[in-house]
Amino acid sequence: MTVGSCEKHGPQSSWTGVCLAIGDNLMESKSVGFIWGIDGNFYWAICSECEQERLRGNTRAHDLVPLCPSCFEEAWRLNGEPEQFP
């Protein structure tokens, strides 16, 4: 079942969620940090700025936006293939 389409990778049946900074900077091939994890079957990632806010007990700096799984992998690679958040 298709639930949308990625401009780069076409029709998608699932989506991930990344902070806006990761999504925006992926288009410019810029690294902004990539702290990621999996909740159930949902992959998510936030940038270093969002992580710093989280560690201070604040809400993250950016909203989550949808990203297709292939774009998520590209962002992960761009940011140095970090280990999954524990």
Percent composition of the chain: helix, strand, coil (DSSP 3-state, to 5): 30, 30, 40
Distance CA(61)–CA(30), nearest Å, equals 18
Mean pLDDT of each 10-residue bin along the chain, 86 residues long: 84 95 95 95 96 93 94 96 88
Give the pTM. Answer: 0.90
What pLDDT does residue 1 have? 55
With contact defined as beta carbons under 8 Å apart, do 43 and 16 qualify?
Answer: yes
Residue type for position 38:
I
Task: State the CB neighbour count (10 A cutoff) for residue 52.
Answer: 14
Phi, psi of 53 (to 5 degrees): -65, -40
